[in-house]
Amino acid sequence: MNIPMLDLVGQYKAIKKEIDQAITDVLESGAYIMGPQVRQFEEHIEEFLQVEHAIGVASGSDALVLSLHALGIGPGDKVIVPTFTFFATASAVSRMDATPVFVDIDPENYNLDLDQVENILKTQQDIKAIIPVHLFGLPVDMQRLMDLAEDYHVYIIEDACQAIGAELSLTSDEVSSFTAKAGAIGNSGCFSFFPSKNLGGFGDGGMVVTNDDHLAEKIRMLRVHGSKPKYYHSIIGYNSRLDAIQAAILDVKLHYLNEWNQKRRQVAAVYNETFQAAALQNRLKWPQVVPGHIFHQYVIEIDGRDELAEHLKANGIANAVYYPLPLHLQECFADLNYKEGDLPRAEQACKRVLALPIDPGLTEEQIKYIAKTVIDFIQR
């Protein structure tokens, strides 16, 4: 067998007719920048996430930068970020000349440890914002985080780049319990349409969502060099627009997103059943299948991770390490003076985690073959 992490070409072929038509429509419209397809896709995201404003931008990284910029984060400000995430979460803060304050993980689910967040809010000055990352597609406990944000007057910028369609339960004063989508709860939510994301384009793309009219207006200006109207610049912005061809492709794929996310959950459930049946609890850690999780990645944890990765590769099974080095130990952040041992749970996870194939089109036979290859490695 030869099993990739994701079969992006297979996904394209399954919906080729619709995708090709959408691309042709853009080519024939001549509206290649900010055309009607961009606005249409934004409107569909507004409906999907139940938010007031969706603003297409060039990437998930830019979605973070534009959010921070629009909220006025700058020199002297500190922003709490998890250390166990993709680099862009923290580099966006540094690009604003603000300072990232790294937080360790909750060892149960790899999301940021909210006890540590609370402690930092209590003890450190100048914290202006928190960027929770819904890592691997599992939502952070936004109820608790929004309560902390209210108590300490900080902004929340959700990094939902890995979590489009993920859901969580919340309560409010008016409604006892309701379901919300990841990214739709904080001051802003940031999404990436990098090809391997659950909703991925054929190139880079991103989106900021918000319910704040003023913030939306500012982000809309920032993505076009700070201009409004065109050629009149009251602020300095960026060139960061969602490409029209990508928007048209993503709009087609959005129809399939819930189905694909559900299939990813089913893939995860089959892995879990197989590991459970082999009674490996003491040797292997696997993720819980909770209802709102969209399994952007299916990540296991094991001693001898690198050997297992080789063993899987030798058996035709792709795998990947997200992430091999926590951000607080990255060379570019050396001036922040973190050292090994400062955030030990994330450091430990970086040595033990391994992502297995999670393509929604994996067959039961393939999933069981992958799980069995892991089990054979452990029982060898």
Ligand X SMILES: Cc1ncc(COP(=O)(O)O)c(C=O)c1O
Run of H or E residues at 156: strand 155-159
CB of 251 to ligand X, least distance (A): 17
CB of 263 to ligand X, least distance (A): 20
CB of 375 to ligand X, least distance (A): 29
* Closest to ligand X by CB, 56 or 60: 60
d(CA 64, CA 250) in angstroms, rounded, equals: 20
* Closest to ligand X by CB, 37 or 67: 67
Helices then strands, each counted (H, E), the chain: 13, 12
Helix (H, G, I), strand (E, B) or coil at 126: coil
CB of 105 to ligand X, least distance (A): 13
Residue nearest to ligand X (CB): 60
* Closest to ligand X by CB, 205 or 360: 205
CB of 64 to ligand X, least distance (A): 6
* Closest to ligand X by CB, 193 or 286: 193
Residue 375 C-alpha from the chain's centroid: 29
CA atoms within a 13 Å half-sphere pointing along the CA-CB vector of 139: 25
CA atoms within a 13 Å half-sphere pointing along the CA-CB vector of 94: 14
CB atoms within 10 A of CB 236: 10
* Closest to ligand X by CB, 5 or 278: 5
Beta-sheet pairing, 155-159 with 188-192? parallel
* Closest to ligand X by CB, 192 or 373: 192
Site residues, ligand X (CB under 6 A): 59-61, 85-86, 88-89, 133, 159, 161-162, 192, 194, 204, 206
CB of 327 to ligand X, least distance (A): 11
CB-based contacts of 159, cutoff 8 Å, min separation 6: 60, 64, 85, 89, 131, 132, 133, 134, 190
* Closest to ligand X by CB, 101 or 374: 101
CB of 178 to ligand X, least distance (A): 25
Run of H or E residues at 115: helix 114-123
Beta-sheet pairing, 53-57 with 99-103? unpaired
